[in-house]
Amino acid sequence: MVYFDNCDVAVNGSGVMATSANIQSQNYLDPAYILEMRGEMSKPAADSIRNVLNIDYYVEVDNEPNIEIINSIKAFRQDDHVAKPFPVEVAGITGNFYLQSYSFAVEPNKVTHARASFICYDQLTGNGDLSTKKKGDEGIDYNKSNSLAHGWTTYVASSGTHIEVPTYKMDYGFNAEYKPIYTIGRKFPKQVQMIKANEEIKFVRDKYKHIVFSGEKAEEALPNFENDSEADLFEIEALCGSEESQTNQLKILVSGAVVTSTAVIAGVGKQVRTAVSVNRNY
């Protein structure tokens, strides 16, 4: 029997500090009915086999393989349309996966958690026997630099205005859409194309901004982004003053994004908040 502490989770070769992970392989079957038969005649395949993998994990600012993957996707369309898969492993089951969604929420007083969802159109590999003591690769090293992202050390934006223009929560989301290209005679796709991707960032604050026109830039709608359009996630150790800890960071760039929605959120017993969502497409 494999317990969680002996079950490795790695994305593109880097161990991530996952709190949950699951892989689901799905057969898309469509029952075929014909005249003359009351029951189904057979179960022909409606689509190819897909493997979907979800991981929830703590974000480390100097070891975040999914942000590296996102950055490669964001740069990707300038080259060609063939998407590049990345190896992902859970409990010794591995496959070449495409990142289809990624999100994290930064909240005050909390360690930052991310959720990533991958899709694989190929055959998974690995020994599926979970009755052994351990599943995974001995070489995977976790929490190499103790660089957890935290609400205490996330600054929106980094120019020192995070107190004057307070942000109560920041949500980051990335979605990508792929199209597997199948050919006659092949069970698995010949290639996988990336169709489109987008980033959405939501800031919960207490200043409402009317949407004035379509295509309004984030820098204009969010007061302290005029000169400094990024959010910086530092590790908790940055509070203790070591130089290295103050240089390790994840940057979330907001420049170039446009406002997609603004909202006022009110309820009994709560402060009235506003939410501004900005979006960038790739």
* Interface residues toward another protein, by CB under 8 A: 4-9, 15, 17-21, 57-58, 106-111, 134, 136, 140, 142-143, 146, 148, 150-156, 162-163, 166-170, 236, 239, 269, 271
What are the distances in angstroms from CA 177 to CA 71, 140, 237? 15, 30, 36
The structure tokens listed for 256 are 């170039």
CB of 56 to another protein, least distance (A): 10
Nearer to another protein, 5 or 80 (CB): 5
Integer Cα distance of 68 and 21 in angstroms: 20
CB of 8 to another protein, least distance (A): 4
Nearer to another protein, 15 or 180 (CB): 15
CB of 177 to another protein, least distance (A): 28
238 touches 277 (CB < 8 A) = no
Nearer to another protein, 21 or 70 (CB): 21
The structure tokens listed for 147 are 């660089």
CB of 181 to another protein, least distance (A): 34
The structure tokens listed for 221 are 């709608």
22 touches 61 (CB < 8 A) = no
Residue 63 contacts by C-beta under 8 Å, 6 or more apart in sequence?
14, 16, 144, 145, 147
Residue 241 contacts by C-beta under 8 Å, 6 or more apart in sequence?
none
CB of 17 to another protein, least distance (A): 4
The structure tokens listed for 114 are 């991310």
Nearer to another protein, 173 or 189 (CB): 173
Integer Cα distance of 236 and 151 in angstroms: 9
